[in-house]
Amino acid sequence: MAQNNRIANPRFWFGFFWLASAAALAGALISQFGFDLRPCHLCLLQRWPYGIVMLLLTPLIFYSKVPTERLKYVFLIVALLLLADAAIAGYHTGVEKKWWTGPVDCTTDAYPTSMEALTASILNASTVRCDEPAFIFLGLSMAAWNMFYALGLSGVALWRSRQN
């Protein structure tokens, strides 16, 4: 019975989503600094929703008087942020698979036609291409794994929002 009370406690879920977001960010930072897998522009964008989830939930973990009628909205916001992350990761996966073109600053092979265009392309170019996966595990890139991870967490957050 004590186990069910803990799982019903919203602070348990705030901590769960905070830790899940921290784990995603830690994995990204470890791959970047520990294994020298430099992130592209889209990789960096995928980190933002996790950071926002952590910022949103940090005060709620310690504040025990969240009104019950507002808990649904907190979990819906978490679900939407994680769904946005899954969408960015899905877009990035499609760029890596060449299903569609990605941002011009990190995927283009177009040749500049003037000196000004050449200068602008050099100054605005990303050093890491978005359409070339840095690491593939079991046939999936890090962006694809992140998409599935964020989708799963978003589903859990949606499920939890319906519990109130």
| Domains, the chain | 2-161 (1.20.1550.10)
CB 18 within 8 Å of CB 57: yes
The residues, any chain, with a CB within 8 Å of residue 132's CB and separated by 6 or more, are 96
55 pLDDT exceeds 90? yes
As to burial, measured by CB atoms within 10 angstroms (0-12 exposed, 13-18 middle, 19+ buried), residue 89 is buried
DSSP per-residue string spanning 74-105: HHHHHHHHHHHHHHHHHHHHHHHTTSS---HH
More confident residue, 140 or 24: 24
Q: List phi, psi (to 5°) of 103.
A: -60, 140
Residue 61 has pLDDT above 80, yes or no: yes
Min mean pLDDT across 27-41, 52-66, 131-145 is at: 131-145
Calculate mean pLDDT across residues 106-123: 61
Here the tokens at position 123 are: 């100054």
Span 52-73, average pLDDT: 84
Which residue carries 């500049």 as its tokens? 112
**Alpha-carbon gap, residue 25 to 47, rounded angstroms:** 6
Winning range, highest mean pLDDT, from 36-40, 101-105, 134-138? 36-40
Residue 64 pLDDT greater than 70, yes or no: no
Q: Who wins on pLDDT, 116 or 141?
A: 141
pLDDT band at 111 (very low <50, low <70, confident <90, very high): low
Q: Read off the pLDDT of each residue in 69-95 and give the average, rounded to a whole number.
A: 90
